[in-house]
Amino acid sequence: MIYVISSLVAILGRFIIGATFFIAGIGKIRNGKNKFLHSVLGYDLVPVSIATFVAHFLPILEILAGVMLVFGLLPQAVSVIAFNLLLVFAVTITVSLVREMDNDCGCFKHVIPVQWRLVYRNIFLMGLVLLMFALKGGALTINKLLAIQTSLSHPNSTIGLVVLASIWGIVLLIILLLHHLLPHRPKGAKQATPF
């Protein structure tokens, strides 16, 4: 019974995260790469050359990961990709918040300022990804329908799960501490410029 419930949660999580990545990637493409490039540069973390690379290829990666998650194609491998993307997003937004920057997160089509709510959303989605990884995407996957075996489908994937869960726990702890220790500004208060 527990396996059935957790498998249904994994399937639902796969659809939620897959749709989120797909919609985010499509939104970035529809806005044009220059708008997304501006969002990436707004974080002031990478040089223009890397930001340009990210602006070109991240939307495509998000769309591919989204489609593969929704259909359950290589769910464990794509779960690792999704986990790492969400990790980068959470850390990047956290760095921006710690630096008191007032920039667009670049998450979807519309302008959304960086905020703690987005960090916690990504942490929550990372938790769903862990469940998807542990349950190999749930019961309804293309891999299971076609009996596709991958190296991640073997019992050795327990080590991968432990590593991902450890990273998730550490990141969650650090973000909670940062959020708790940082002074809270009133909503709408003007933020300081970065370094």
- pLDDT tens digits, residue range 24-46? 999 999 988 889 999 999 999 99
Average pLDDT over residues 74-99: 91
pTM above 0.75, yes or no: yes
**pLDDT value of position 149:** 59
Return the sign of the alpha-carbon dihedral for residues 156, 160, 165, 166.
positive
| pLDDT at residue 60 is higher than 90 | yes
| Boundaries of every domain in the chain | 2-181
pLDDT digit string (tens) for 138-189? 766 776 667 665 555 555 677 777 777 788 788 888 888 887 777 665 455 4
Return the structure tokens found at 191: 């933020």
Rounded Cα distance, 76 and 64, in Å: 14
